[in-house]
Amino acid sequence: MRSKFIFLVLLQVALLVGIIAYRHYWVATGEKILLKTAPVDPRDIFRGDYIALRYDISQLDLDALGVKETFKGTEKVYIILEKDPDDTFSARSVIRELPAGKKFIQGRVEREMSSSKWEVVLKDDSGGLRRLQPQWFSGVKKGERVHFCLDERDSVLNFFKEGAGYRPTCEGQSIGGAVEEIREIKFRSLGVKYGIESYFVEEGKGWAIGSSRATRELRVEVSLRKDGKGIITGLFAGGKLVR
């Protein structure tokens, strides 16, 4: 009985060492890329010791990508990537077959659905016109006054209508004015999970990220295997590496 117990303990230790060794091999030999995180409120990003991450490539506009195929939930897909001028990578297509000669990341379909995106023309207090693209925009009519909270890329984090009683705190920049035009655009949307949607943060570091403007500028360093599976190797917050 004693020898059996020792064997089981040694087996568990061997498995653990093997997992750690393989992870280090993956990190060392994989191809590193940077992914942009989607706009997120710092108050919603932390879940205990983990950061909950959402990427620009987490929700894909199939119509904008020119993809005609339809997809089912849990289906394996490959996202063709292209490097942008800021050294991050964004989606250029979605396919089912393992790509050859292209940079890509492997994911699993959450679901395909019909979605809406919005374009809002705002006349600010100086008389200038600003074209904004909130992820949703309802309960507001033309002529009403609205305030938008923006990040450093001028992406809309949230908004509130004057006199509605709800007034969030804008940690970044904000802009207010009267709504001149509202346009809703329907499109086919594909939600994709990559297995890199959470990241462990050492005690004390998470709050340092969340309490600064760096939260708006998170970049995720990912190491890709040959089959496109990714593993997070670090975060860049405000241009600084946080491991």
Q: Residue 213 above 70 pLDDT? A: no
Name the average pLDDT for the chain: 82
Cβ pair 115, 188 in contact under 8 A: yes
pLDDT exceeds cutoff 80 at 92: yes
pLDDT of residue 182: 95
Token pair in block for residue 192: 């994709």
Q: Give residue limits of the domains in the chain.
A: 116-187
Half-sphere exposure of 6 (CA within 13 A, CB side): 3
Vertex 233: Cα angle to 50 and 49 (nearest 5): 10
Stronger pLDDT, 14 or 185, i.e. the higher one: 185
Percent of the chain that is helix, strand, coil (3-state, to 5): 20, 45, 35
For residue 103, what pLDDT is reported? Answer: 94
**CA 160 to CA 137: how far, in whole Å?**
10
pLDDT at 54 over 50: yes
Q: What CA–CA distance (Å, rounded) separates 185 from 102? A: 31
Are the C-beta atoms of residues 234 and 223 closer than 8 Å to each other? no
Distance (Å, rounded) from C-alpha 140 to C-alpha 147?
A: 11
